[in-house]
A and B are shown apart, each in its own frame.
Chain A
Amino acid sequence: MALTPPDQALWWKRPLSRAELGWITIAFLWGLFMFFFMIYWHGAGKQNLSNEAYRISAEKFTARTQAMVDKYKVRDYETKQGVKIPVVHPPAGEDVYLIGRLWQWWPILELEKDQSYRLHISSLDWLHGFSLQPVNINIEIHPGYEIVLTVTPDTSGEFTIVCNEYCGIGHHTMLGKIFVVEQ
């Protein structure tokens, strides 16, 4: 019994049955396959999260974002409460900045379909979760670190950034927008 010491004193010398050996072999090979599939996807797949990241202060990241907004702002977006949020349309291939802060993603980005952008994201205060819907891309955003990824929107329309890392009592109101337009 599993509750009593093994019947055979030399239990580790007992041979395995074929069924057990077979299953262990299959399970091991499947593990090997899954391990190498992750590596394979780094070469063959189109969806791999960048590992490029830098330490950065909130002030510096805010300044860079503000500079981008000043340069490429095309219009304002007015919210239900009448607050204006700048909409930025940077040229293709450009560095694009996105701030996560209590409780807003700022600014609103307008990108062109099938163009690539270097997207920098950082938080100014607590942890936030960048959750792009309905595409469903989810990235953890830290204060003090900027993550830089090259993203190529291949669908056009209106996309929403939901915050999916709990960030206090206003967490469920923290949204942002990305518009993807045809060229």
Chain B
Amino acid sequence: MANTEQFRTCPATGLKVHLPAERLIKANAVAAVLFLAIGGLFGLGVALTRWPAVHLLPADWFYLALTAHGLDVLVVWIIFFEVALLYFASAILLNSRLATPKMAWAAFALMLVGAAVTNVAVLQGTSSVMFTSYAPMQATPMYYAGIVLFAVGALIACFIFFGTLVVAKQERTYEGSIPLVTFGAMTAAIIAVFTIASGAIILIPTLLWSLGLVSHIDSLMYRTVFWAFGHSSQQINVAAHVSVWYAVGALVLGAKPLSEKVSRGAFLLYILFLQLASAHHLLVDPGISSEWKVFNTSYAIYLAVLGSMIHGMSVPGAMEAAQRRHGYTNGLFEWLRKAPWGNPAFSGMFLSVIFFGFLGGISGVVMGTEQINLIIHNTLYVPGHFHGTVVAGTTLAFMAITYLVVPLIFRKDLVLKGWARLQPYLFGIGAAGISLFMMGAGTLGVSRRHWDITFSDAPLPFDYPGAAFLMMGLNGIFAILASIGGIMFIVVIVGSILFGKPAGEQTFKELLFTGEASAVGKHGSEEHPKVPGTLALVAVFFVSFVLYYFVNWKYLSEIWPLR
């Protein structure tokens, strides 16, 4: 049994906070932000090199920076932050102690050492193999070893999360079912176990191969298993950032789910079907049957997409219902107009919902269509898509909740509040622009992971259309915008942690919903107010989705016939 001195009571939420868990959340969040800064910087280098008029880095540095960018932001930043979220959603939300804090520190150390080792391997210049490290291109053993260490640490963290759920249940620290956000975090953790197992299955043999102990790694086998790791890890992010959406809605607006059943059912669809997405990367690879492609790429009849479309209604719906209960009942959109747009937690979260749905979501389904992938595979459309999901979606959502983590966990008031207010807009619009213009360039055929689209050193002449150069320039400009937003985020967060005044009543009032929660507490399911504004938003989304889907079939029908 944990002794009571290890807990404090949160003045804002009334939750019992386990202090060892709190320290671990802080450590993981700080490591996350550190790697966001490093990875973001590499990303700026990449974007400025791909802007033909600037063409900043030489070729070897470009491929090095692109490898480091992918690793540090796609893997290290996001997973450190997710570990912090797992500890928060288990120990803190359930009023429980964290299972085995010492193991959690060991996991933290493994992840930190692993990330450092891989970064050093990349910076030495001998492992510019991209985040995907496709065999038979080979990195140094250190590169793979670092990733394996990092993954082992992350796996331990997942099991500490599951252990904490067991502890909380046995010690009866909560009544009834676990909260929705904890359920979402559990979804992420389950997918993470599958993901990390796939990663081990592919990266351990590859490590042995780079050491000379295994003679051959088949490239098709590598891609198939790698993407069971690589794509599934993006599905961890989806489950995690949807949980963050619900959490921010609850903390900032006092929102509660329209229906627990629907929201949890949608998470369940993620657990059952999201892992099939390895297929998205194999749609134009040789030797794979169309039956396999069609079934897997659609997550079995688009059932995981169904999950996301459900969240796409229930997240804004929950917020609309809350706002209407608070008296913003005029017209379709008063609830949205009068939302706290100056609160960076809210604005970041809401922009994340919109961008993830319209940019990342729609493009993902379209490019994951078996035949349409022919006009998209490995073009810049692909990074365009995942900057919509992982940057404008996940990263922005994580930034948003960080504005609440600082007062609640670090117990500090924000510094530079004007910067904080502006930051989600700059970063969000920057990231959305990056996503949009890369997709535009990709539609025009421009290759991803390419140092020089003018082909000045190539033996044969070729020019992409002029519009592609415009797209790359716009991409560079929006990357600068996103970078300014990223730097502001880091300055505000690090500044607040180091120099912020202790958080007080006033801090919570500025950032959190402080109304009477119990007055709205008993509504549920059918009794919630009608949400016509959300229905209108969902209708706009659906029409855009259908139109864009058919536009791409039209593009496909114009290429050379092939069979």
* Chain A interfacial positions (CB closer than 8 Å to B): 1-9, 11-12, 14-17, 19-20, 23-24, 26-28, 30-32, 34-35, 37-39, 41-42, 45-51, 53, 79-81, 83, 104, 125-127, 129, 131-147, 149-155, 160, 162-169, 171-177
CA of A163 to CA of B290 in the docked complex: distance in angstroms? Answer: 24
Residue of A53, A81, A142 most packed against chain B (CB within 10 A): A142
- B contact residues around A23 at 8 Å (CB): 309-310, 313, 535, 538
Which residues from chain A contact B465 at a C-beta distance below 8 Å? 134
Could you list 21 A-B pairs, sorted by A, with CB under 8 Å? A2-B249, A3-B13, A3-B93, A7-B522, A34-B365, A46-B557, A51-B290, A127-B219, A134-B464, A136-B375, A144-B218, A151-B560, A162-B445, A162-B462, A164-B377, A166-B63, A169-B60, A169-B128, A172-B450, A172-B453, A172-B458
A140→B259 contact, CB < 8 A? no
- The answer to whether A35 and B298 touch (CB under 8 A), given A16-B525, A42-B290, is yes
| Segment among B21-29, B79-87, B116-124, B171-179 that sits at the interface with chain A | B171-179
Assess whether A51 is in contact with B522, with CB atoms less than 8 Å apart: no
List chain B residues, Cβ under 8 A from A39.
294
Q: Roughly how many angstroms separate A101 CA and B218 CA in the complex, as a whole number? A: 17
User: Which residues of A sit under 8 angstroms from B260, Cβ to Cβ?
Assistant: 6, 8, 11-12, 14
Distance in Å from the Cβ of A117 to the closest Cβ of chain B?
10
Q: When the two chains form their complex, are residues A15 and B525 in contact, meaning their CB atoms are under 8 A apart? A: yes
Asked if A175 and B462 make an inter-chain contact with CB atoms under 8 angstroms apart, the answer reads yes
Given the interface pairs A34-B549, A137-B559, the reply to whether A1 lies near B179 with Cβ below 8 Å is yes
B535 neighbours in A (Cβ, 8 Å): 19, 23
Q: Is the CB of A126 within 8 A of B136?
A: yes
Which of B204-212, B281-289, B419-427 forms contacts with chain A?
B281-289
B contact residues around A83 at 8 Å (CB): 459
Q: Once the chains bind, are A175 and B458 in contact (CB under 8 Å)?
A: yes
Is B471 an interface residue, CB under 8 A from the partner? no
For B365, list chain A residues within 8 Å (CB): 34
Is the CB–CB distance between B458 and A173 below 8 Å?
Answer: yes
Q: How far is the CB of B93 from chain A (nearest CB, A)?
A: 6
What would 11 more interface pairs be, CB under 8 Å, given A1-B517, A145-B219?
Answer: A31-B301, A31-B303, A34-B365, A48-B563, A81-B459, A104-B459, A132-B560, A141-B286, A149-B562, A165-B378, A169-B59
CB neighbours (8 Å) of B553 from chain A are: 37, 41
Bound CA span A19–B531, Å? 8
- Cα A132 to Cα B176 in complex, Å, equals 58
Please judge, given known A-B contacts A35-B301, A146-B286, whether A136 and B445 are in contact too, CB under 8 Å. yes
CB of B469 to closest CB in A, whole Å: 14
| Residue contact B310 to A11, C-beta cutoff 8 Å | no
* B282: chain A residues within 8 A (beta carbon): 140
A143 touches B219 (CB 8 A): yes
Instruction: Give the chain A neighbours of B526 by CB distance below 8 A.
Output: 14-17
Closest to B284 in A: A139
Closest to B318 in A: A2
Q: Which residues of B contact A104 (CB under 8 A)?
A: 459
Smallest distance from the beta carbon of A164 to chain B beta carbons, Å?
Answer: 4
Q: Which residues of B contact A12 (CB under 8 A)?
A: 260-261
Whether the pair B286, A138 counts as a contact (CB closer than 8 A) is: no
Beyond A133-B462, A162-B462, A164-B448, whether A144 also contacts B219 by CB under 8 A is yes
Are A3 and B137 CB-contacts (below 8 A) given A34-B365, A134-B465, A137-B559? no
Nearest CB on B from A9, distance (A): 5
Is B480 in the interface zone, CB < 8 Å from A?
A: no
With both beta carbons as reference points, the residue of chain A lying nearest to B251 in the complex is identified as: A3
Instruction: Determine the distance from Cα of A167 to Cα of B447 in the docked complex, in whole angstroms.
Output: 13
Interface segment out of the listed B40-48, B140-148, B327-335, B366-374: B366-374
